Chains A and B, each alone.
Chain A
Amino acid sequence: VTAVRPVDVDLLREVEQFLFLEARLADEGDYDGWEALWSDDGVYWIPANGDDIDPATQMSILYDNRSRIALRVRQLNHDKRHAQNPKSRLRRIVGNIELLDGDAGGDLLVGANFIVYESRERGTTIWGGRSEYRLRRVDGQWRMAAKKVMLVDNDRPLATLAFLV
């Protein structure tokens, strides 16, 4: 697509507010609040070695179905999740938000870029990439049915990434 399409500004604003909320809950380690943003069939995916691998046959950094998302949150809430105790100090910027074309079975496709600034005893790590979301309205609230996080450096050695990106 090489031309800008007319955009539903109200819808875009609503989606932006949702993504900013998700970012803030993740940054502040509100794990239960973050988990509540998922639909019942949500899939959280961070591919490795490229953005378009087949997660059924290739290693991903993370590929959580809804029950594994819940497990991840339960682990983060446990005080012996050493990799996040103490929690990383985090702040992220989410930008370049676009409503994307495509058929997603009635879900809304959204793309956004991000930079996360992480500080912990190890030092400061800057994470960057693009996320693509499938968003769905459930009982009048936006929910994530899918979030795919494409790290710019997903084909290189990465530091521990135990927070919610």
Chain B
Amino acid sequence: MSTAVTVAWDRLIEPDRVHGSLYTDPAVWDAELERIWYRTWVYVGHESEVPEPNDFVLKSIGPQPVIMTRDKAGGIHLLLNRCSHRANLVCDTARGNCSSFRCPYHGWTFANTGALLGYPFSSGYGGRELKSELGLAPVPRVASYQGFVFASMADDGPSLAEHLGDAAGEIDRLVQLSPEGKVQLTTGWLQHKVRANWKLLLENETDGYHPQFVHASIFAVADSGIGDLYGEKSTAVSRDLGGGHTENDLRPEFRRLGEPLRWFGTSPDRLPDYVAAMRAAHGEAAEQILVEGSPHVMIFPNLFIAEIQIFVLQPVAVDETVQHVTAIQFAGAPDLNRRMLQQTLGSVGPAGFLLADDSEMYERNQRGVQVRRPEWLVLKRGLHRERIDERGHVVGDATDEVPMRAIWAHYKSLMEDGR
């Protein structure tokens, strides 16, 4: 991208502050598409969304529409939604079950593996056979971890395992909350649109400083203890997991409280079937798993695991982002699942008790960064008390801006690596 080289990343991103134009400049947006969204590993969908042979679902990689399919042999494919003939969209159905896609424009038909199956009036190509050369474009690299399907639009680069690094352990931590070791994303997605740059959302997901202020109303009227997890006295930590991945690790607080299922705001007597299934599956380890709860981790650039729900950030323009959100469901935990769905849909989406207020902040922030002075956003919080944990990760207090500094350092390394 020619515009990318004109952005002086070094002058916009400093260790403890970033320039407001990073959220508004179309040249920055163009460069991000090429260097992040169409290059690094991006989360696309979950295998449980296409459980049966020939299932498909429409997904995205940034603004690009992608069809996620399961072929009749069970393999997962990511296909760009563009006919190889005249570039029409070949699929406009959100989800379904079909072994092939027929373009409505001239009737070209593609298998759910992407292969071109046929085209009408084939003698019009003078005997030349187009099938082998004109399939749907596959996303170059596709890989799964614990059913989470990621994609990279680059032909080569770090493996998914290298990309995830220690964030993979957080996905493991999520999955072990299922008695059967499986997450299922089967409750459908809300799509919440905000007039804000995607990085304002990315940074907010592991900002432990905002909850007591942005969510003051629901914490007050619901008599919620969540706010205390993100207070000055909280023993929770913010962590740089490497690779731009960040988390709010709430385990120290839940260990201190020592009550199973406190992380979900309930107790074992309310979910006896789930607790019994977890004890059967994990034995003595179940107690600790049930005390420590679910991760709060932002996997760069777009997968946010927020304890009981999954958010996927989809940037669609420099100043517009869609948050896709669904309730996590754990295989083998029907009683917990029902409550996770009801709690999730109360909290998130356009009318959510939490997310409506977050989204109001994103939009106010997008207007704010267009104000000309003082130009910079400050990332200094907790800089003086950063420390290194036993795994070598930088951590800070619950409300510190360790995650933001981690995100920006990784972002800068991607943007400066012109390749």
Interface residue ranges, A against B (CB under 8 Å) = 46, 48-49, 53, 56-64, 68, 71-72, 74-75, 78-83, 121-123, 155-162
Closest to B353 in A: A75
Residues of A within 8 A of B189 (CB): 49, 59
- Set B193, B220, B221: member contacting A157, Cβ < 8 A: B193
B325 CB, min distance to chain A CBs, angstroms: 8
Q: Does B344 contact A (CB under 8 A)?
A: yes
- What 3 A-B pairs come out closest when comparing CB atoms? A78-B217, A83-B356, A157-B193
Beta-carbon contact of A161 and B221 below 8 Å: no
Beta-carbon contact of B193 and A59 below 8 Å: no
Residues of A within 8 A of B361 (CB): 82
Beta-carbon contact of B357 and A122 below 8 Å: no
Q: Does B123 contact A (CB under 8 A)?
A: no
- Set A53, A68, A155, A162: member contacting B356, Cβ < 8 A: A162
Beta-carbon contact of B344 and A59 below 8 Å: yes
Highest count of chain A CB atoms <10 Å: which of B188, B213, B327, B338: B188
Beta-carbon contact of A156 and B217 below 8 Å: no
Q: A57-B187, A82-B214 are in contact. Are A68 and B357 (CB under 8 A)?
A: no
Instruction: Give the residues from 347 to 398 in chain B that come closer than 8 angstroms, CB to CB, to chain A.
Output: 349-351, 353, 356-357, 359-361, 363-364, 367
Beta-carbon contact of A160 and B194 below 8 Å: yes
B258 CB, min distance to chain A CBs, angstroms: 29
Q: A83-B360, A122-B363 are in contact. Are A48 and B188 (CB under 8 A)?
A: yes
- Set A60, A62, A155, A162: member contacting B94, Cβ < 8 A: A155
Beta-carbon contact of A160 and B221 below 8 Å: no
Q: A160-B350, A161-B351 are in contact. Are A61 and B190 (CB under 8 A)?
A: yes
Q: A160-B359, A162-B351 are in contact. Are A59 and B327 (CB under 8 A)?
A: yes
Residues of A within 8 A of B217 (CB): 75, 78-82
**8 contacting pairs across A/B (C-beta < 8 A):** A58-B187, A59-B345, A61-B190, A68-B346, A79-B217, A81-B218, A83-B359, A121-B364
Give Cα distance in the complex from A56 to B216, angstroms. Answer: 29
Supplied contacts A63-B346, A83-B356, 8 more A-B pairs, CB within 8 Å:
A61-B345, A78-B216, A80-B357, A121-B364, A122-B363, A155-B94, A158-B190, A160-B360
Residues of B within 8 A of A61 (CB): 190, 345, 349-351
Give Cα distance in the complex from A49 to B58, angstroms. Answer: 14
Give Cα distance in the complex from A83 to B349, angstroms. Answer: 12
Give Cα distance in the complex from A53 to B94, angstroms. Answer: 15
Beta-carbon contact of B222 and A71 below 8 Å: yes
Beta-carbon contact of A83 and B94 below 8 Å: no
Residues of B within 8 A of A71 (CB): 221-222, 353
A111 CB, min distance to chain B CBs, angstroms: 22
Residues of B within 8 A of A79 (CB): 217
Give Cα distance in the complex from A81 to B352, angstroms. Answer: 11
A81 CB, min distance to chain B CBs, angstroms: 4
Give Cα distance in the complex from A81 to B192, angstroms. Answer: 18
Give Cα distance in the complex from A72 to B222, angstroms. Answer: 10
Residues of A within 8 A of B359 (CB): 83, 160
Highest count of chain A CB atoms <10 Å: which of B192, B344, B357: B357
Give Cα distance in the complex from A121 to B353, angstroms. Answer: 20
Give Cα distance in the complex from A119 to B188, angstroms. Answer: 29
Q: Does B248 contact A (CB under 8 A)?
A: no
A43 CB, min distance to chain B CBs, angstroms: 12
A93 CB, min distance to chain B CBs, angstroms: 21
Q: Does B326 contact A (CB under 8 A)?
A: yes
Residues of A within 8 A of B188 (CB): 48-49, 53, 58-59
Highest count of chain A CB atoms <10 Å: which of B218, B222, B325, B367: B218
Residues of B within 8 A of A63 (CB): 342, 345-346
Beta-carbon contact of B351 and A62 below 8 Å: yes
Residues of B within 8 A of A161 (CB): 350-351, 356
Q: Does B410 contact A (CB under 8 A)?
A: no
Residues of B within 8 A of A58 (CB): 187-188
B250 CB, min distance to chain A CBs, angstroms: 23
Q: Does B171 contact A (CB under 8 A)?
A: no
B204 CB, min distance to chain A CBs, angstroms: 13
Instruction: Give the residues from 147 to 191 in chain B that come closer than 8 angstroms, CB to CB, to chain A.
Output: 186-191
Q: A59-B326, A59-B327, A80-B216 are in contact. Are A74 and B221 (CB under 8 A)?
A: yes
Beta-carbon contact of B195 and A122 below 8 Å: yes
- Set A80, A121, A159: member contacting B220, Cβ < 8 A: A80
Give Cα distance in the complex from A160 to B195, angstroms. Answer: 10
Closest to A78 in B: B217
